[in-house]
Amino acid sequence: MNVRCGLNLPSMRGSRCQMTSSLSHDFLRRKSGAEVNLKRRMSSHNDHRRTATRMAAAGADSALEEGRSLYLSGDRMGALRKFEEALSDPNVTLDQKQEALYSSTCCHATFGDVELAKILLRQGILEAGLDWDDATTRDGWVPLVASTQCKIQLRTFSDQILRQAEKSSSSSSSSSSSGGVAQGSSGTAPSPTMTTRPQGGLTRAQQAQAAQARAIKAANSTQSIFAMRDRVKEAADSGDMSDFLQTDLKDDLDTSLGAIVRRVAILLLVMVVSGVGLFYLGLEFLFPK
């Protein structure tokens, strides 16, 4: 038994080594296959994302292209819808947003609605960094078809928005720098609960109270207007306008027909006598004896 067992030991060891090597090779092969599959999935996911982004950009481009063709053909309302469709795209690029806002401004300017054109122009300058002078001369974008007065108003408004933006940015930077200097010199940060007095000598609490009072006054005036409108509507429906035509007269005033005729006669007599007297007085003054 010992001899047989001793003779069989090398074969058992070789078979065990072969099994271990085969298992390790199988594990490495499976691991490499899993890594390859993971890389393929990640690559496919990235390809899908890039494809979706390209499709979204192509959607905005197609909307802008259709809007340009409709604008040049004279269908400004249809072009405005296409430009709004391009703006509603969540993946619209900055350049596409600039073109869509500028083109929408041109559509409203063509309609003669300068106020809406100014609103879109403000949005384009502040949110998309639109340059009005560059936009009006850029190749491929729609031309501004409007009156000279409208063009001047939009140009002036664009300059005003740029100046306001520069002024606000400079004031905010100066205030932040002054706040930092004050904090560094004092060594402590200002308390957020500190009562400050802005321009006008009013605290924030007083300004809030004043704003609340103005809001209450505006609400009361609005309610009174609505109540008066309802009263007028009810009186017009009923045909009785006496509440609106009556005057504050004394209680002892005679309102009969005879009394009214008597007062009118007295008024006419006074006017005739005073007119004749003034006529002869003027003759004596102009042509003295």
The share of the chain scoring above pLDDT 70, in percent, equals 52
pLDDT at 6: 46
The band of 167, judged by pLDDT with boundaries at 50, 70 and 90, is: confident
Q: How confident is the model at residue 11 (pLDDT cuts 50, 70, 90)?
A: low
Q: What is the mean pLDDT of residues 52-58?
A: 53
Amino acid in the structure at residue 83: F
Distance CA 108, CA 101 (A): 11
Confidence at residue 249, expressed as pLDDT on a 0 to 100 scale: 52
Chain-centre distance for alpha carbon 227: 32
Residues 235-245: what's their mean pLDDT?
A: 62
pLDDT digits (tens, 9 = 90+) for 67-92: 999 999 999 999 999 999 999 888 88
Q: Average pLDDT of 217-242? A: 62
What is the share, in percent, of the chain residues with pLDDT greater than 90? 33
Residue 105 — very low, low, confident or very high, per pLDDT cuts 50/70/90? very high
pLDDT of residue 211: 64
| Residue-level length of the chain | 289
- Give residue 91's pLDDT: 87
Mean local confidence (pLDDT), 161-178:
77
Residue type present at position 132:
W
Check whether 197 has a pLDDT greater than 50. no
Q: What is the mean pLDDT of the chain?
A: 74
**Contact call for residues 169 and 136 (beta carbons, < 8 A):** no
> Highest mean pLDDT range out of 171-180, 183-192, 251-260?
251-260
The pLDDT, as a whole number, for residue 194 is: 40
Q: Is the pTM of this model over 0.85?
A: no
Name the DSSP letter for residue 131.
-
Q: What are phi and psi of 131, to 5 degrees?
A: -105, 110
Say yes or no to pLDDT of 191 above 50: no
Residue, of 238 and 273, whose pLDDT is higher: 273
- Among 46-50, 64-68, 267-271, whose mean pLDDT is lowest? 46-50
pLDDT of 214 over the 70 cut: no
Predicted confidence (pLDDT) at residue 46 exceeds the cutoff of 80: no
pLDDT of residue 220: 60
Mean pLDDT of the region 28-32? 65
Please state the rounded mean pLDDT for residues 248-263: 75
The whole-angstrom distance between residue 189's C-alpha and the CA centroid of its chain comes to: 35
What domains are defined for the chain? Answer: 56-173 (1.25.40)
Q: With bands split at pLDDT 50, 70 and 90, how would you rate the model's confidence at 27?
A: low
What pLDDT is stored for residue 192 in this prediction? 43
> Residues 196, 199, 202, CA angle at the centre, nearest 5°?
55
Where is pLDDT greater, at 218 or 259? Answer: 259
Q: Looking at residue 141, what DSSP letter applies?
A: S
pLDDT band at 199 (very low <50, low <70, confident <90, very high): very low
